[in-house]
Amino acid sequence: MRESSRPPLVEVDHGRSLAQLVVDAAREVPEAVSFRRPDGSGGWTDVTAAAFLADVEAVARGLVAAGVEPGDRVGLLSRTRYEWTLVDFAIWTAGAVTVPIYETSSRDQVAWVLEDSGARCVVVETAVHAGLVQRARPEGDDGPTWAVEDGGLDELRRLGRDVDPAELDRRRAALTCDSPATLIYTSGTTGRPRGCVLSHGNFLVLAENGAALLRDLVRREDASTLLFLPLAHVLARYIQVLAVVSRTPLGHTSDPKHLADDLASFRPTFVLSVPRVFEKIYNGAEAKADAAGRGDLFRRAAGVAERWSRAQDAGGPGLGLRLQHALFDRLVYGRVRAAMGGRLDFAVSGGAPLGERLGHFFRGVGVTVLEGYGLTESTAPTAVGVPDELRIGTVGRPLPGTSVRVGDDGEVQLKGPHITSGYWRDEEATRAAFVDGWFRTGDLGHLDDDGYLRITGRSKEIIVTAAGKNVAPAVLEDRLRAAPLVGQCMVVGDGRPFVGALLTLDPDMLPLWLRNHGLPEGTTPAEAAAMPEVRAELQRAVDSANEAVSRAESIRRFAVLPADLTEESGHLTPSLKLKRAAVLRDHADRVEEIYAS
């Protein structure tokens, strides 16, 4: 059994809380810019530390006036926007506990979270969300709901005008690192979600030490970040807290269609993302180059970027490679950087493996992607790559103050002050989640001699073929999703004679790919799935993925589904993980086609 630890860089006072962070920021430099809000005309308006604190306290007093008591749970259902962060800190300032709900949740999902958490009231984004909450409320629950876009926060500000400001001081003073800050309902791929209890200390320890470790990202003078992942997800929530701890100006956006424009206008120095976004940036750049007759140039430039990056880990590139890299920086790489705002130096990637090819490509382009690993139960990152000790293909070493070990069965286990105390009202699940004080992740991994962690799969997802061969789907799926035409994919083969795959076509990339290949752009994904040219392209993607595994683990056959696998279709979690059981259930006929002969 291997173990890797890193001592803490910062010791956090047990009496501190997340509510105190905004007070400290306003006291230290009240005119410093803490946030930037969209101004409605394509630009951004600064929000100072003092202004943010004043607004947080105004909303918090409204919650107090509405009857919210310390320890009460308050639901928060909204897309990622400035008001999400505002309400989150207001709930903490009132001494209450935030219960985030994905805005894409169904009525049944909302009903379960509200009932299980016992949420006293809910803040939502729109009137539609308010209606959803009303229909989902347990029988007899008439707690208030405030909609941001219907003046709900203004109503709270009015309610709180007569609340003594000293009441907030008393509530803040009563909070400690042990006080619960949030109940995050894990978007499980099977069964009902469980409420994961995370404390003020869980976030503070990780954010304070993360800010010290990642000082090159968050504490440089011109640092800023644009958040576009759902704040209901723990990783986005951690970045929100990290930004306040490190005094990094933070912006919010939630519309993926406007992401490119928002990156161009906000011009962040680092962002948080998931591998799928990096794949789309790469594939989109390649497709645009093909459309402009520059496809071969782009692919040569991509190859040079990867070789240049790999050379950084082997003594540095030679003169010839340096000259090629400088040439392509002017011709290609600058365009890629411009598409991400032009000032982006770093990105943090989590949620799924990035893959070495993309990691080296982006570093070669000039945007270093720091891959991290964590779960809701570890308050997001428990390990992350660091600029001055980067090892692409791994998720880095443990964060300061945390420990990672890999059991004899390959399971990754975690320990430290960032680990949850357990699941809300579920002692049995809490007991089952720990062994000898270590949290059992269910993920499989490997620690090298220097303490770098590599995630290799998930124990529950391991496929055992009829011949008894163990296959980790992640290795194949990650490579398949990197192909321009592939939207989602799922490897199958449990108890079957060989490994197969279900593939979908990327609805965003398909029209451009069809045009570039002289095929009708209006072809639907279902129609395209039968086209010989498309099948041949998908076969090339499968062949490329198979290069990463042995013959016994390779994909022999695949089937193309008529539509993409999405959260709306019930096949992805809000964090874009496959619901494998649902996919197998709904597409059982396509699986049978794979093994029909």
> How many CA atoms within 13 Å lie on the side-chain side of 320?
1
Strands 403-406 and 397-398: unpaired
φ, ψ (nearest 5 deg) of residue 165: -55, -25
Split at pLDDT 50, 70, 90, the class of 221 is very high
Q: Give the largest Cα separation in the chain, rounded.
A: 75
Distance CA 145, CA 135 (A): 12
Average of per-residue pLDDT values in the chain: 94
Residue 138 DSSP class: P
Q: Which residue has the higher pLDDT, 276 or 164?
A: 164
Main-chain dihedrals φ then ψ at residue 408, nearest 5 degrees: -65, -25
Token pair for 237: 């929530």
The arithmetic mean of pLDDT across residues 380-402, rounded, is 95
pLDDT, tens digit, 9 for 90 and up, residues 324-348: 999 999 999 999 999 999 999 999 9
> Of the candidates 244, 178, 238, which has an alpha carbon nearest to the alpha carbon of residue 15?
178
* pLDDT band for position 482 (cuts 50, 70, 90): confident
Report pLDDT for 142. 85
8 Å CB contact between 252 and 47: no
pLDDT for 561 beyond 90: yes
Check residue 189 and give its pLDDT.
46
**DSSP single-letter state for residue 460:** G
Q: Model confidence over 484-511: pLDDT tens digits?
A: 999 999 999 988 999 999 999 999 899 9
Distance, CA of 365 to CA of 277 (rounded, Å) = 16
Is residue 94 predicted with pLDDT exceeding 90? yes
The more confidently predicted of residues 423 and 104 is 423
Domains of the chain, residue spans: 17-175+224-268, 272-459, 462-594
Plot region of 503 (φ>0 → left; ψ -120 to 50 → alpha; else → beta): beta
The answer to whether residues 280 and 242 touch, using CB atoms and an 8 Å cutoff, is no
Among 556, 445, 458, CA closest to 501 = 556
The rounded distance, in Å, linking the Cα atoms of 91 and 68 is: 9
Cα separation of 500 and 71, whole Å?
A: 50
CA 209 to chain centre: 20
The answer to whether the CB of 498 falls within 8 A of the CB of 546 is no
What three-state secondary structure class fits 222? coil
Instruction: Supply the pLDDT for residue 311.
Output: 97
Q: Quick one: pLDDT at residue 191?
A: 62
The yes-or-no verdict on residue 429 having pLDDT over 50 is yes
Mean pLDDT of 516-525: 91
Closest by CA to 24, choosing from 40, 42, 12, 36, is 12
Q: Is 291 helix (H, G, I), strand (E, B) or coil?
A: helix
Class of domain 272-459: alpha beta
- The pLDDT > 70 percentage for the chain reads 99
CATH classification number, 462-594, choose in 3.10.20.30, 3.30.300.30, 3.40.50.1370, 3.30.70.20 = 3.30.300.30
CA dist 485 and 538 (Å) reads: 7
Q: Is the pLDDT of residue 597 over 70?
A: no
The DSSP bridge partners found for residue 225 are: 250, 270
Residue type, 578: L
Quick one: average pLDDT of 198-220?
Answer: 96
**Fold match, 17-175+224-268 / 272-459:** yes
Q: Regarding beta strands 225-227 and 270-273, do their DSSP bridges make them parallel or antiparallel, or are they unpaired?
A: parallel
Q: Tokens for 166, please give them.
A: 């000293």
**Dihedrals φ, ψ of 228, to 5°?**
-130, -5
pLDDT at 188: 52
- Average pLDDT value for residue range 534-538: 95
Phi-psi region of 520 (alpha: psi -120 to 50; beta: other; left: phi over 0): beta
Who contacts 85 (Cβ-Cβ below 8 Å, separation ≥6)?
A: 35, 231, 240, 250, 252
DSSP 555-591: EEEEEE-SS---TTTTSB-TT--B-HHHHHHHTHHHH
Q: In what order do the strands lie in the sheet with 270-273?
A: 44-48, 33-38, 250-252, 225-227, 270-273, 346-349, 368-375, 380-384, 397-398
Torsion angle, CA of 190/492/375/389, rounded to 10 degrees? Answer: 180
- Give me 433's structure tokens: 């989640």
Q: Is the pLDDT of residue 72 over 90?
A: yes
Give the Cα separation of 223 and 268 in Å (integer). 7
Q: What are phi and psi of 128, to 5 degrees?
A: -60, -45
pLDDT of residue 367: 97
CA–CA dist 497, 31 (Å, integer): 66
> Residue 517: which of 487, 493, 537, 501 has the closest Cα?
537
Question: Would you state the pLDDT for residue 81?
Answer: 98
Rounded Cα gap, residues 63 and 52, in angstroms: 17
Query: d(Cα 509, Cα 513) in Å, to the nearest integer?
Result: 6
Strands (E), 21-161: 33-38, 44-48, 73-77, 97-101, 121-124, 145-147
414: left (phi over 0), alpha (psi -120 to 50) or beta: beta
Instruction: Please report the pLDDT score of residue 491 as a whole number.
Output: 95
Pairing of strands 422-423, 434-435: unpaired
Question: What CA–CA distance (Å, rounded) separates 84 from 76?
Answer: 8
pLDDT at 68 over 50: yes
Q: What is the per-residue pLDDT for 352?
A: 78
CATH homologous superfamily of 17-175+224-268: ANL, N-terminal domain (3.40.50.12780)
pLDDT for the residue numbered 478 = 86
The count of residues in the chain is 597
Kindly report, residue by residue over 47-63, the tens digit of the pLDDT.
999 999 999 999 999 99
* pLDDT for the residue 575: 74
Distances (CA, A) of 301 to 113, 290, 517: 49, 13, 22
Specify the pLDDT at position 256: 81
Query: Is 50 exceeded by the pLDDT of residue 144?
Result: yes
